[in-house]
Amino acid sequence: MEKKLYTLIVHSENIAGLLNQITAVFTRRQLNIESLNASASSIKGIHRYTITTWSDEDTIIKVTKQIEKKIDVVQAHYFLDDEIFMQEVALFKISTPKLLENPLISKTIRRYGARIMEANAVYAVVEKSGVTDEIIALRTELDAFDCVLQYVSSGRIAVTRDTAEHVNEYLEKINKG
Amino acid sequence: MITGSEALMQALIHEGVDTVFGYPGGSIMPVFDAMYDHQNDFKQVLVRHEQGAAHAAQGYARASGKVGVCLVTSGPGATNTITGVADAMLDSTPIVVIAGQVAANFLGTDAFQEVDLVGITQPISKWSYQVRRPEDIAWAVARAFHIAGSGRPGPVVLDFAKNAQVGMVDFKPATIDVERGYIAIPETDPKSVEEAAALINAAERPLLLAGQGIELSNATEELRAFVEKADIPVGCTLLGLSTLPHGHRLRKGMLGMHGNLGPNVKTNECDLLIAVGMRFDDRVTGRLDAYAKQAKVIHLDIDPAEINKNVYADVAVLGDCKDTLARLTAAIDEAQHTEWIESFAPYEEKEWNEVIRHAIYPEEGPLRMGEVARAVSEASGNKAILVTDVGQNQMMSARYFQYTQKRSIITSGGLGTMGFGLPAAVGATFGAPDRTVCVFMGDGGIQMSIQEFGTIMETGAPVKMILLNNNYLGNVRQWQELFFGKRYSCTPMLNPDYMKIAEAYGIPSQLVVERDQLASAIDTMLATDGPFLLEVAIMENENVMPMTPPGGAVNVMMMNAMDC
């Protein structure tokens, strides 16, 4: 089956050790996690994981069910890119002498809509938020200038395009008992 | 205020625990000390190895339907239970393992007998939790029993820090209400019941696969009502062998690698497969791309993650099968599938003539495994609980035992744990004290848990032990003969004198070598109060047949070694 990039959104109780259990499901199925983000959710006491992985649909369905089966996982859902709004952020630490030397560097930064957060005589820190492809493209161009001292990017974060809020509805139903 | 250890006692009593299998050690001593005052509240069984405690808890749970409890110390005590935890996970057995742990302020320091038990057991347990404060005991114990015993049962591990054992707490027993992170029983979609009923009504050649889920849901009556109304033949999984009694006209035997020819062949001829509380294990299906491709599939299960995991289901009916089977029975038409059911007969006859007859009624040569199993079963009035170890002894006793009551087979199906049988049988005698418990072991498996003779000696647990001794690790020997060019690497085994071992433990025993001694020896065993070891010297190179070779199609079975 064809492999696609899937985004899993998992809601769970905020309990130590749960992330371990979730990633173990990927390990057993030999799926690499491309990116992972953990944060609070809009619901009190509920944590939210956004995980991306390359997989075929058959496997991602099984993985999602096996994650949802874990005690204290509230719900898990998988999405393709056209079903979500998504964003990630990257930071580039760039050599200031090179930046001053080559005007193309700051031109490139502006062209990508990235911003310089801080600059001193030694380095400048550039922040770029966007989707993966944009960030990779910027990185490729900056790499060519041989100016990048450090690079880091966050995991993808995503919210669904769906107008229904399945987790909230489920929790409401549970609370009504 | 009471100590955390006493709070644990109160919590266990609140959960209705009547037996604890355990082994003390440094980090759990406060709990054992508290237990000293509760010797009249529940039975306290000292095993001889912590792995035995876990398997005994499993045997107790499988025989009784209640949650089995085992209590061990930290570090090696805890890691010794791991095999039992993994076994209980794969076979959906409700047990709670309570292990000591170093005090919370020592956690992460590589303290004496510290091990990251939660980290180790998370992937192989239903729930694993570290109790660090005495205040958490009431909730953690209530939740442990709730999770272990509800929904699809499984093992729960409580890692009990020493400071929580000795700290003081104002204890009130807790009960677990609705939880947002755990749905024990998924909702049944009424539409799925209708769709399933429509498929069943339209089917001409339906076959039902009965799994352990039926026992776990206490749904044997519902199964019977359903298959009788719809007139559907039944194949049982290894763990589901006692879901429909022997002699029932719709019971067509065991599924899988060493199952019966009829249900395996018919799996690839039926037009509808109804799987109930079973998970399409590879030992049942053989090669998946040659498995029941012609059939529609209905899958009844309590665990949504089992649906479409191995075999695609045209209709999935989620829920507790005690309920869903009853709803299906109400929704279907009465039917008759006489011709289809009769079409099993030639396969039963073929298997009888080529395999079974020789296995259970041999006229000459050394004693055989099957004849011992059938003779023990019949001598018990076919009412005993069969516990098995793993290997040929397991397959042969499972095949030739006859089951007339529910919860009559306790065996390590998923994990295939050698050494499981003896301690599980000890546990079963506590879980079902009114029933006869017979455990079949090989000379390999018995030695993996032989120290539990000590537990049997001390408790007098009335375990009827049948040792099928062929001086080989027989199942591996069989594979070596069939698939590894008869290169018997590390399978012949020099055995000790088991009569002397039994004698040392004060366990009555008898060795049978000749066929004409067998019946009377079995009678002696069953008539003896308390434990008994019956060793039978059996044929060295018998093979379990028929057999679906590993990776083969379910309907193509070898009837003897020549078919290889």
Q: What angle do CA A103, A105, A108 make, to 5 degrees?
A: 115
Rounded CA separation B303/B279 (Å): 10
A69 vs chain B: nearest CA distance in angstroms?
A: 7
Residue A167 lies in a domain: no
Residue A159 lies in a domain: no
Domain co-membership, A72 together with A93: no
Residue A176 has pLDDT above 80, yes or no: no
What is the residue-wise DSSP string for B432-500?
STTS-EEEEEETTHHHHSGGGHHHHHHH---EEEEEEE-SB-HHHHHHHHHHSTT--TT-B-----HHH
Ramachandran quadrant class, B23 (left: phi over 0; alpha: psi -120 to 50; beta: rest): beta
Query: What is the tally of structural domains in chain A?
Result: 2
B304 vs chain A: nearest CA distance in angstroms?
A: 7
B101, B165 Cβ separation under 8 angstroms: no
Asked if B180 and A74 come within 8 Å (Cβ–Cβ), the reply is yes
Domain co-membership, A74 together with A49: yes
**Omega before B546 within 30 of 0, i.e. cis:** yes
The SS3 assignment for B243 reads coil
Query: What does the pLDDT profile of chain B (564 residues) look like in tens digits?
Result: 999 999 999 999 999 999 999 999 999 999 999 999 999 999 999 999 999 999 999 999 999 999 999 999 999 999 999 999 999 999 999 999 999 999 999 999 999 999 999 999 999 999 999 999 999 999 999 999 999 999 999 999 999 999 999 999 999 999 998 788 999 999 999 999 999 999 999 999 999 999 999 999 999 999 999 999 999 999 999 999 999 999 999 999 999 999 999 999 999 999 999 999 999 999 999 999 999 999 999 999 999 999 999 999 999 999 999 999 999 999 999 999 999 999 999 999 999 999 999 999 999 999 999 999 999 999 999 999 999 999 999 999 999 999 999 999 999 999 999 999 999 999 999 999 999 999 999 999 999 999 999 999 999 999 999 999 999 999 999 999 999 999 999 999 999 999 999 999 999 999 999 999 999 999 999 999 999 999 999 999 999 999 999 999 999 999 998 877
State mean pLDDT over A93-110.
96
Any idea of the CA torsion for B321, B407, B77, B417, to the nearest 10 degrees? Answer: -90
Rounded CA separation A163/B553 (Å): 47
Chains A & B: contacts with CB separation below 8 Å: 41
Any idea of the CA torsion for B431, B378, B536, B558, to the nearest 10 degrees? Answer: -100
Rounded CA separation B457/B508 (Å): 10
Give the burial class of A1: count Cβ atoms within 10 A of its Cβ; 0-12 exposed, 13-18 middle, 19 or more buried: exposed
**Which of A86, A49, A53, A42 minimizes the C-alpha distance to A70?**
A49
Both tokens of B409, joined, read 């087979």
Domain co-membership, A54 together with A121: no
Residues of A in contact with B307 (CB under 8 A): 65
- Of A30, A52, A79, the residue at which a domain comes to its end is A79
Residue A61 lies in a domain: yes
Any long-range contacts for B144-151 (C-beta under 8 Å, 24+ apart)?
B144/B96, B145/B15, B145/B67, B145/B96, B146/B176, B147/A71, B147/B182, B148/B67, B148/B94, B148/B95, B148/B96, B149/B66, B149/B67, B149/B94, B150/B184, B150/B185, B151/B182, B151/B183, B151/B184, B151/B185, B151/B302, B151/B303
The reported pLDDT for the residue numbered A33 is 96
A7 vs chain B: nearest CA distance in angstroms?
A: 19
Residue of A nearest to B156 (CA): A71
Compare CB distances from A71 to B181, B303, B309 and report the shortest one's residue.
B181
Both tokens of B448, joined, read 């993996």
Domain co-membership, A61 together with A92: no
**Which of B219, B229, B173 minimizes the C-alpha distance to B317?**
B219
Residue type at B196 in one-letter notation: A
CA distance to A116, B48, B68, B446, B538, per residue, from B449 (Å): 68, 9, 19, 6, 21
Rounded CA separation B551/B534 (Å): 36
Asked if A174 and B122 come within 8 Å (Cβ–Cβ), the reply is no
- Of A59, A79, A99, the residue at which a domain comes to its end is A79
Residue A113 lies in a domain: yes
Range(s) of the domain holding residue A22: 4-79
Residue A161 lies in a domain: no
The reported pLDDT for the residue numbered B323 is 98
Phi, psi (rounded to 5 degrees) for A88: -140, 170
Give the burial class of B262: count Cβ atoms within 10 A of its Cβ; 0-12 exposed, 13-18 middle, 19 or more buried: buried
Domain co-membership, A94 together with A35: no
Contacts of B211 (CB under 8 A, 6+ apart): B236, B237, B239, B240, B243, B275, B276, B277, B278, B279
Q: For A112-131, what is each residue's pLDDT tens digit?
A: 999 999 999 999 999 999 99
- Residue corresponding to tokens 């600059």: A119
Residues of B in contact with A12 (CB under 8 A): 181
CATH of the domain at A122: 3.30.70.1150
**Which of B226, B167, B203, B146 minimizes the C-alpha distance to B30?**
B167
Residue A160 lies in a domain: no
Domain co-membership, A39 together with A100: no
DSSP B188: P
**Which of A75, A68, A34 minimizes the C-alpha distance to A52?**
A34
Domain co-membership, A73 together with A11: yes
CA A12 to chain centre: 17
Domain co-membership, A119 together with A64: no
State mean pLDDT over A44-72.
96
Ramachandran quadrant class, A20 (left: phi over 0; alpha: psi -120 to 50; beta: rest): alpha
Rounded CA separation B531/B324 (Å): 41
Asked if A13 and B126 come within 8 Å (Cβ–Cβ), the reply is no
b/e per residue B305-325 (b: at least 16 CB within 10 A): bbbbbebebebbbbbbbbbbb
Domain co-membership, A134 together with A149: yes
Phi, psi (rounded to 5 degrees) for B297: -125, 130
Phi, psi (rounded to 5 degrees) for A176: -70, -25
pLDDT band at A136 (very low <50, low <70, confident <90, very high): very high
Give the burial class of B483: count Cβ atoms within 10 A of its Cβ; 0-12 exposed, 13-18 middle, 19 or more buried: exposed
Give the bridge partners for B3, in sequence order: B168
- Residue corresponding to tokens 């990185």: A139
Both tokens of B135, joined, read 């205040």
Rounded CA separation B163/B30 (Å): 10
Both tokens of B423, joined, read 């301690």
> What domains can be seen in chain B, in order of their start residue?
2-169 (3.40.50.970), 190-345 (3.40.50.1220), 366-538 (3.40.50.970)
The reported pLDDT for the residue numbered A134 is 95
Domain co-membership, A143 together with A98: yes
Give the bridge partners for B169, in sequence order: B2
Domain co-membership, A9 together with A71: yes
Asked if A69 and B305 come within 8 Å (Cβ–Cβ), the reply is yes
Asked if B181 and A13 come within 8 Å (Cβ–Cβ), the reply is yes
- Of A50, A79, A108, the residue at which a domain comes to its end is A79
C-alpha dihedral sign at B153, B159, B162, B168: negative
Residue A49 lies in a domain: yes
The reported pLDDT for the residue numbered A177 is 61
Which residue, among A15, A69, A176, would best test binding to B if mutated, counting the most B CBs under 10 Å from its CB? Answer: A69
Instruction: Give the DSSP H/E element, type plus range, for residue B275.
Output: strand B272-276
Residues of A in contact with B182 (CB under 8 A): 71-72
For B313, how many CA atoms within 13 A lie in the half-sphere containing its CB? 24
b/e per residue A116-138 (b: at least 16 CB within 10 A): eeeeeeebbbbebbbebebbeeb
Asked if B127 and A71 come within 8 Å (Cβ–Cβ), the reply is yes
Domain co-membership, A36 together with A62: yes
Residues of B in contact with A13 (CB under 8 A): 180-181
Rounded CA separation B297/B272 (Å): 6
Both tokens of B332, joined, read 């279907």
CATH of the domain at A18: 3.30.70.260
What is the residue-wise DSSP string for chain A?
---EEEEEEEEEE--TTHHHHHHHHHHHTTPPEEEEEEEE-SSTTEEEEEEEEEE-HHHHHHHHHHHHHSTTEEEEEEE-GGGEEEEEEEEEEEEHHHHHH-HHHHHHHHHTT-EEEEE-SSEEEEEEEE-HHHHHHHHHHHHHTT-EEEEEEPPPEEEE--SS-HHHHHHHHHHH-
CA distance to A63, B125, B287, B309, B352, per residue, from A28 (Å): 9, 15, 21, 14, 42
CA A31 to chain centre: 16
Give the bridge partners for B234, in sequence order: B208, B251
Asked if A71 and B180 come within 8 Å (Cβ–Cβ), the reply is no
Give the burial class of B412: count Cβ atoms within 10 A of its Cβ; 0-12 exposed, 13-18 middle, 19 or more buried: buried
Residue A12 lies in a domain: yes
B407, B31 Cβ separation under 8 angstroms: no
State mean pLDDT over A18-27.
94
- Residue corresponding to tokens 């076994």: B87
